[in-house]
Amino acid sequence: MPGDRLALPPDGRQSETALTIARGVRRLLRARGFSSLTELPLVDGRRADIVAVNGEGEVLIVEIKSSAADLRADRKWRDYLAACDRLYFAISAATPAAIMPAEAGLILADAYGAEVLREADPRRMASATRRAVLLRFAQAAADRLHRLADPSGGFDV
Amino acid sequence: MPGDRLALPPDGRQSETALTIARGVRRLLRARGFSSLTELPLVDGRRADIVAVNGEGEVLIVEIKSSAADLRADRKWRDYLAACDRLYFAISAATPAAIMPAEAGLILADAYGAEVLREADPRRMASATRRAVLLRFAQAAADRLHRLADPSGGFDV
């Protein structure tokens, strides 16, 4: 086992643009002390694009919008407001910032980094929700690492 | 990025025996609903061999002992009693079960699975400690995945 080199499988669910934005956003989050996880199932089977947690247990969600059409197609983004302390959208320079809803923060990203164009209004999530999201985050991250280390270790999803 | 296949680096810190035991233990934990993470720094810079969390937030620690000498060399294992709800040792069939301290549970493992020889006494950890351990677990797991996806994403450890 020590010599094994195991692989993260490619994720076919996201566009190249979305993956590029995610990379830059996660670098920014990391620089601010937040550990981030992609594609975390949270509400009604929907997956949050990026969920991030810092050492104080603050929870951010970042929803990636790779185009104006991507925003228009999403009628349920407000569902995430209650599942985090701050909600952001993240876009590339190809998407006009002016169309993004003012109820969420806004991050501009490329593949190398990102900046916050508008801070999100902090709203402290309910403590039972925080506990549930943190557990889900912890278990999902650990399970993904476990699956990489031992693909036949009992994973059926 | 979608086509990338990224690799878990081999971990040079553990013996082949310890890695084999860890694999079997993690399969057992998973079958019991626990998500597990290896080598999590917790107390005084010591790393717990395996920390596991279930959907209720219960925290287990499993310390791997690859030999009787490995147990004798460890004078600080009791430090972990306060950092979890249940503490177990895990051994292979090559280590006599009778020498393992009765204050902790005992797991017998090989590379394919494991069984609990003696249950650990549950002792409910302090809620502030639980919160701290869960956050540390969540951040460490997410950071390891992030580093795999973006090795130059700002990781200096």
Q: pLDDT tier at B3 (50, 70, 90 boundaries)?
A: very low
Tokens of B4: 């990338």
Structural domain of B138: 14-149
Task: Please tell me the pTM assigned to this model.
Answer: 0.91
Mean of pLDDT values over B125-145:
97
| ipTM here | 0.90
Between CA B98 and CA A27 the distance in angstroms is 50
Residue B7 lies in a domain: no
CB B35 within 8 A of CB B54: yes
Distance of CA A39 to the CA centre of its chain: 6
Task: With respect to residue A123, please indicate whether it lies within any of the assigned structural domains.
Answer: yes
Q: Which residues on chain A are in Cβ contact (under 8 Å) with B4?
A: 8, 10
Q: What is the DSSP letter of A104?
A: S
Q: Is residue A8 part of a domain?
A: no
In a domain, B156, yes or no: no
Asked if the model's pLDDT at residue B30 lies above 60, the reply is: yes
Gyration radius (Cα) of chain B, Å: 16
- State how many domains chain A has: 1
Query: And the tokens for B148?
Result: 């795999």
Low pLDDT (below 70) residues in chain A: 1-14, 156-157
Q: How far is B36 from chain A (nearest CA, A)?
A: 6
* Closest Cβ opposite residue A7 in set B5, B146, B155: B5
